[in-house]
Structure 1
Amino acid sequence: MGRRIVELLLGRGESVRFMARGKYPQVVALGAEGFQGDLRDPDAVRKAVDGVDVVYHVASLAGYWGHEETYRGINVDGTRNVLNAMRQCGVRRLIYTSTPSVVGYERDVINGQPGIPYPMRHKSPYPRTKAVAEQMVCDANGKDLATVSLRPHLIIGPGDNNLLPRVVERALAGTLVMVGDGTNKVDFTYVDNAAWAHLDAADALKDEKSPAAGRAYFISNNEPVLLWDWLNGLLGAVGCPPTRRRISYRTARALGGLMETAWTLLPLPGEPRVTQFLASALARSHWYDMGPAQRDFHYQVRVPLAEGTRHTAAWLRSHFKIESPVT
């Protein structure tokens, strides 16, 4: 999504500087200024934001398993470094990329509103640290800094390095298992829509009194679908067999708890195949109301889900070198 934001900004004639841990010569070739650095380095962050008008903070450590301190260092301490650097350099607008998982998946969320409270306890360090960072961003809104937090849900599209490639890998290996009864609805966000939401929010964030200032918003394609029906349709379009194996939500949660204990106490290499957090995300309904984002910064869906799904399937086929889809 970060690359897509850069492309959209360049496309409308803006000067763009991006900061990342690695080098991205393809993005620089588009006309952006590249800056290599780590969010955990305050000096690097300060140099990166000095002289800019608006910061899009899209970097984070995502996942459903890992060490708390690693997630905290990037998601919390890194965000604190961004806020401090912006204050020191006089940068007035921050668009922060959060996640719907900050409000959890322990219960079904139907047409969820921005005011859903954070849970008392998160089941994973990723949503826990993202919730802390999001609250920091919203609290930072004031006369010298206007902030808004966006929660794009399940981003799909070309270049995905986190979500759907893992699903396809498991499908190809025959290890993908449906969790729950298959009736849970979710909404996805095509990457172009997620990127445009950031630009829309920045355009509307004139100062700390703007309607969106200091608030958090869910972002999606606004087309809830049955998760497992959609996934099996995508797998067929990619060239993978659909998943037929099924496990109950209760069993998956129990297995997740056992695996979390084993990986924590032994510890074992890699990550568990299932955790309590992942089981809930795969079995529960979670889709959200786009009304607040449409009202406060005129968010709109530019690419419908069917079109975004086709683009995503084509990219996944190329990524995994699958010649043709299953017919």
Structure 2
Amino acid sequence: MKILVTGGGGFLGFAIVRLLKTQGHEVVSFSRHNYPYLDELEVIQFQGNLLDFKALKKAVEGCEVVFHVAAKLGMWGKYIDFFETNVLGTENVIQACKEEGVRFLVFTSSPSVVFDGKDSEGEDESLPYPKKYNAFYPQTKAMAEKLVISANNSSLKTVCLRPHLIWGPGDTQLLPSLIEKAKQGKLRIVGDGRNKVDCIYVENAAMAHTKVLDQMIKNPSKVEGKAYFISQGNPIPMAELIQKLLATAGISPVKKYLSPLIAKFLGRVLETSSRFLGIPSEPMVTLFLAQQLSSAHWFDISASKRDFGYEPEISIEEGMKHLTNWLSSIKDIK
């Protein structure tokens, strides 16, 4: 099959591309830049912005499947930037799929679309969207997810996946941020660190995307128009996850702690002052980040196991070994 991956040069997007290539598919990538490692895999590359409908439609042409992975990530920035990429960009993807006769659309969403700042332990997909969001990323991803779900029909089958805290080789978000803050002495465990969270190794996340596509092709009624949590299915304390990730880079465990109340207060104050003063750089802590670090958030993934046979094949321990080896190889190259 001919398959388009938006954001094919990114962290998760590239993992999906690699897996699709091993499965024998013809893969197309639509990203803002050209990536030599995609050329090495003989991936057809189109460059453009999701707001450029003409360029996007050209990339979609002839494809039966679209994995819409591209998004504006982060906890800080202007609302319009998140809205344009995550919402208007998704509208363009959906419209291009309709005009080009794409049969299946798999959208990469996020568990943060249902995060209300409080503990969430073992909840399933019946968890409602919150009335208020404390960051533009989850707010606009929720808007995009709703668009994709409502676009499902007899001609275009759609599904949304919510991978939780993706990590692994090639990570450009979570791990680099942790390493930088740790090296600067700015990293803190918020609370006692025993709040449990789940995560997902990048190759498991990629595999979930191809698994749900298989089910959409074979028996679309089981998954179409739905959203699914995907993770390791193995909640661990937040402090343990942070320490494990830092250890892959040879960084000593974080020993400084910060009260959740103080972290949330600082987040509010720093966000307000940064916006008032027009400071573009991300504050040391935001309210959303403080809530994420201090709350328990893990979800029931039994629906993804039942409906499309998802099982995390790579454990946290095995994944950490892969990540350690990758980081070592990067150092050797440098």
- TM-score normalised by structure 1 residue count: 0.95
Report the secondary structure of 2:233's partner residue: coil
2:141 is aligned, of 120, 127, 130, to 130
Give the Cα–Cα distance (whole angstroms) in 1 for the partners of residues 241 and 333 of structure 2. 19
Give the Cα–Cα distance (whole angstroms) in 1 for the partners of residues 177 and 324 of structure 2. 14
What is the match of residue 20 of structure 1?
31
1:203 is aligned, of 203, 214, 224, to 214
What is the match of residue 6 of structure 2?
none
Give the Cα–Cα distance (whole angstroms) in 1 for the partners of residues 153 and 225 of structure 2. 8
Give the Cα–Cα distance (whole angstroms) in 1 for the partners of residues 220 and 34 of structure 2. 37
> Which deviates further from its counterpart, 74-83 or 11-20?
11-20
Give the Cα–Cα distance (whole angstroms) in 1 for the partners of residues 168 and 35 of structure 2. 19
Equivalences for 1:11-50 in 2 at 5 Å?
Answer: 11-50=22-61
Amino acid at match of 1:119: P
What is the match of residue 289 of structure 1?
300
Structure 1 residue 322, shift from structure 2 partner: 11
Q: Conserved in 2, the CA contact under 8 Å of 1:105 and 1:286?
A: no
Give the Cα–Cα distance (whole angstroms) in 1 for the partners of residues 256 and 27 of structure 2. 47
What is the match of residue 248 of structure 1?
259
1:155 is aligned, of 145, 158, 166, to 166
Q: For residues 32 and 170 of structure 1, do their structure 2 counterparts lie closer, same or farther at Cα, with a shift above 3 Å needed?
A: same
Task: Say what the alpha-carbon RMSD is for the aligned residues.
Answer: 1.7
Give the Cα–Cα distance (whole angstroms) in 1 for the partners of residues 222 and 68 of structure 2. 20
What is the match of residue 113 of structure 1?
124
Q: Conserved in 1, the CA contact under 8 Å of 2:175 and 2:245?
A: no
Report the secondary structure of 1:205's partner residue: helix
Q: Conserved in 2, the CA contact under 8 Å of 1:153 and 1:218?
A: yes
Report the secondary structure of 2:144's partner residue: helix
Structure 1 residue 31, shift from structure 2 partner: 1.8
Give the Cα–Cα distance (whole angstroms) in 1 for the partners of residues 331 and 177 of structure 2. 11
How many pairs are equivalent?
A: 323
- TM-score normalised by structure 2 residue count: 0.93
Give the Cα–Cα distance (whole angstroms) in 1 for the partners of residues 171 and 329 of structure 2. 12
Q: Conserved in 2, the CA contact under 8 Å of 1:146 and 1:208?
A: no
What is the match of residue 222 of structure 1?
233
Give ranges in structure 1 of 5+ residues lacking alignment: none
Give the Cα–Cα distance (whole angstroms) in 2 for the partners of residues 315 and 251 of structure 1. 36
Q: For residues 64 and 182 of structure 1, do their structure 2 counterparts lie closer, same or farther at Cα, with a shift above 3 Å needed?
A: same
Give the Cα–Cα distance (whole angstroms) in 1 for the partners of residues 70 and 290 of structure 2. 25
Are residues 1:101 and 2:125 paired? Answer: no
Q: Conserved in 1, the CA contact under 8 Å of 2:248 and 2:323?
A: no
> Which deviates further from its counterpart, 311-320 or 247-256?
311-320
Give the Cα–Cα distance (whole angstroms) in 1 for the partners of residues 256 and 159 of structure 2. 41
Are residues 1:182 and 2:182 paired? Answer: no
Show CA shifts across 1:118-172 (max 9, x none): 1101000000000000000001111111000000000011111111110011111
Give ranges in structure 2 of 5+ residues lacking alignment: 1-11
Show CA shifts across 1:249-268 (max 9, x none): 11100000000101111112
What is the match of residue 272 of structure 2?
261
